[in-house]
Amino acid sequence: MAKLSLNQRAALLSVILLVVTILIWEAAIPAQQAVGELTEYERLTGGGAPRAGVPAPSQVIVKAWEELSNPFYDAGPNDKGIGIQIGYSLYRVLTGYLLAALVAIPLGFLIGMSQVAFKALNPFIQVLRPISPLAWMPLALFIIQDSEASAIFVIFICSIWPMLINTAFGVAGVRQDWVNVARTHELGHLRTAFTVILPAAAPTIVTGMRISIGIAWLVIVAAEMLVGGTGIGYYVWNEWNNLDLTSVVFSILMIGIVGMLLDCAFGVVQRAVAYVE
Amino acid sequence: MSKPFLSVENLTQIYPDGQGGDLTVFEDATFGVEKGEFVVILGHSGCGKSTIMNILAGLAEPSSGVVKMDGFEVSGPSLDRGVVFQNYSLLPWLSTLKNVTFGVAARHPEWSRQQVIDHSKNYLAMVGLEGDVIHRKPSQLSGGMRQRVSIARAFANHPKLLLLDEPFGALDALTRGTIQDELLKIWGGTEQTVFMITHDIDEAILLADRILLMSNGPFARVAESVEITIPRPRNRTDIVEHANYYAIRNHLVHFLGQRSKEISGKAKGSATNRPETVRIDRTGPAADGPGDAPRRLRAVIT
C-alpha cells in the first residue's frame, strides 16, 4: 500500500467514495413492493400503480446505457436522443459565447489601454454585470421575437462580463518593461498589440474565457427551461413533466460531464498560453 | 570643434512632488558623447541617472532641454538607440532565440527568416549561448544568462547608440565579472557607442573611456567628466596594477562619498553647465607615448 503514488492513492479513494455513495443511495431507495403482496384495499387505492420516486442508481445506469447507445435518435419534438439535445445546447452556448468574445476581447483591449475609456465605461459595466442573465429574457423575447435567438442573447450577455473585465485587467497589467521593449524596437501599435500585449495578457484573458464558458453552461440550462423546444435544459424540464426522474438524474449527470469537458478544454488552452516570469 | 555624435543640452527634469509643488531632479545637464566612445555615468540613487537614460532612449520626455544624435533631435524611441534594461526585459513567453530574432526582425524586416535566425545565433554565440540553451525560455535561464541574451539582442541590432541601464545590477559579483569581460570582448569588435549607468566604481573604471559624475539630487547636475587614462585592452586583474587605477578610483570614491553631497543644489554658480574635465595621469610624460596612449581618449567639448 505504501508503494502507491499520490495519484494512485487519490484515484483509489475516489473509486471507494463512488462505490460507497452508490451503495448507500441504492440501499436508501425502498424496493417497490410486488403487486401480489398488497392488500385488496391498497390495490383499490392505486398502490399497485408504478410509483414515481427517486430512482435507484441501478435504474439510472440502465437508463444511461439505453440513452447513450443511441444518442442521436429523433422521434418527434418530445422525444429526441440525449446527443441531439446536448448538441442544441452546445450550439447555443458556443454561438452566444463566440459573439461575446468578439465584442469583449477587443473592447477589453481598448479599456485596458486607455484610462479614459476605462473610467467612462466602468459605471456601465458595474451596473450591467450583476444583472442575472435570465432577467434579460423577457426583453430579449419581446425585441428579438425569436426564442432561439433570445437564448443565444442570454448566453451572450452572461459570458461577456468575465471576458471583458479580465481582458481589460490583463491588458492594463502588462509590464511597462515589455511595452518599452516594443517601443525601443519601433513596433507599431498593431504589432505591439499582437506580439507583446496579447501574449503578455493571454493567461488573464483565457482565465476570463474559462470563467465565461462555465457561467454560460450554467445559464443555458435555465434559459432552455424557459424557452423550451430543444436542448438539455428543456430535456430536464420535459422529463420532470413526464415524471421520469430516472431521465432527470441521468441528464443532470450529463450536464455535469459536458460542463467538465468544456472546462478541461479551456484548461488546455490556459496551459498553452501560460508563461513563467 | 565640431559637435559630438551625441549631444545632451541643458536637460532639466521636474516632477510634481505630490504636495502641490515641484521637484527638480536634475538641472541643465549638458554633456557630449563621441562616436565609438564608452561613457559611464555614476551617481547616487535619486540623482536622475535612470531618467537621463530614459530620455536618451526616447521613453521619457525631459521638462526642458534637447538631446541630439548625429545632428538630429531625439524624439521617441528608435531602433538606432538600443537599450539593455536592468531587469533584462526579455519576453518570457518567447524562447531565448526568439527573443533575439524578435529584435533582429524588427530591425531588418526585409531579411529572410533564415537570415534573421543565423544573425541572431551568431550574436548569441558571441555571449556564449549555443546549442540547446537557445531554445529555452528565459525563466529556465540563470540571471547571468538572461542578461547575456539581452546584451546579444541589443548588439545584434547594431544601434548607433547602445544604452545600458545598470545591466549587471541584479547579478552576483562573480557572474558580473564574467559578463563584464564578455561585454568588453563583444564591444571591442565593434565601434559601438555605449552609454551606461552603474553603481559600481570598479566596473565603471574597467569599462569606460570616460566617467560622468553626478551630484546628488534634487537639483543634481553632471559635475565632472573623468577620463580613464588606462590603456585598452583592459583586463580586470591587470588594471589594478596600473599606476592610474587607484588615483582615479580614489578620486571617484571621494567624489561620491563627499563632494557629491557638498556641491549638490549649487548648480547655477559656474558660468558653464558643462562638466569639468578631470584627467588623472600618474604614468608621466615618458610612458604616455604614442604606443601607450589610450586609443579612445579625447577631450569632449560641446
Residues of B in Cβ contact (< 8 Å) with A177: 85, 87, 89
pLDDT tier for residue A179 given thresholds of 50, 70 and 90: very high
At B18 the pLDDT is 80
- Report percent pLDDT > 70 for chain A: 94
Across the interface, whether the CB atoms of A275 and B92 are under 8 A apart is answered yes
Across the interface, whether the CB atoms of A199 and B93 are under 8 A apart is answered yes
At B16 the pLDDT is 86
Q: In chain A, what are the domain boundaries?
A: 70-273
Give the tens place of pLDDT for each residue, A107-117.
999 999 999 99
Judging by DSSP bridges, how do beta strands B38-42 and B193-198 pair with one another? parallel
Give the tens place of pLDDT for each residue, B28-40.
888 999 998 999 9
Closest chain B residue to the Cα of A179, Cα to Cα: B89
* B91 has a chain A CB within 8 A of its CB: yes
pLDDT tier for residue A130 given thresholds of 50, 70 and 90: very high
The structural domains of chain B, ordered by start, are 1-80+160-302 (3.40.50.300), 89-158 (no CATH)
At A36 the pLDDT is 62
At A51 the pLDDT is 59
Please tell me the distance in Å from B294's CA to the nearest CA on chain A: 33
Q: What is the mean pLDDT of residues A158-183?
A: 94
Closest chain B residue to the Cα of A195, Cα to Cα: B102
pLDDT tier for residue B298 given thresholds of 50, 70 and 90: very low
Mean pLDDT of chain B: 85
Across the interface, whether the CB atoms of B91 and A184 are under 8 A apart is answered no
Q: What is the mean pLDDT of residues A134-152?
A: 93
Q: What is the mean pLDDT of residues A182-210?
A: 94
**What does DSSP assign to residue B283?**
S
* B50 has a chain A CB within 8 A of its CB: no
* Residue B130 phi, psi dihedral angles, 5° rounding: -140, 165
B46-60, B205-219, B270-284: least confidently modelled range: B270-284
| A246, B104, B260 from B264: Cα distances, Å | 85, 42, 6
Which of A68-82, A96-110, A241-255 tops mean pLDDT?
A: A96-110
Across the interface, whether the CB atoms of B85 and A180 are under 8 A apart is answered yes
Closest chain B residue to the Cα of A181, Cα to Cα: B89
* B107 has a chain A CB within 8 A of its CB: yes
Q: Who has greater pLDDT, A119 or B287?
A: A119
Give the tens place of pLDDT for each residue, B233-264.
888 888 888 888 999 999 999 998 888 888 77
- Superfamily the domain A70-273 falls into: MetI-like (1.10.3720.10)
pLDDT tier for residue B186 given thresholds of 50, 70 and 90: confident
Smallest Cβ–Cβ distance between B139 and the set A186, A187, A277 belongs to A277
* B48 has a chain A CB within 8 A of its CB: no
pLDDT tier for residue B222 given thresholds of 50, 70 and 90: confident
A122-131, B74-83, B201-210, B213-222: least confidently modelled range: B213-222
- Report percent pLDDT > 90 for chain A: 74
At B290 the pLDDT is 42
At A52 the pLDDT is 56
d(CA B222, CA B211): 10
* B212 has a chain A CB within 8 A of its CB: no
Closest chain B residue to the Cα of A201, Cα to Cα: B93
Mean pLDDT of chain A: 90
* B102 has a chain A CB within 8 A of its CB: yes
Q: What is the mean pLDDT of residues B252-281?
A: 75
Query: Is residue B285's pLDDT more than 60?
Result: no
Q: What is the mean pLDDT of residues B106-128?
A: 93
At B292 the pLDDT is 42
Give the tens place of pLDDT for each residue, B132-149.
999 999 999 998 899 999
Smallest Cβ–Cβ distance between B79 and the set A178, A186, A196 belongs to A186
Give the tens place of pLDDT for each residue, A17-28.
999 999 999 888
Task: Give the mutation candidate from B84, B91, B157, B195 for the A interface (greatest A CB count, under 10 A).
Answer: B91
Query: Is residue B9's pLDDT more than 60?
Result: yes
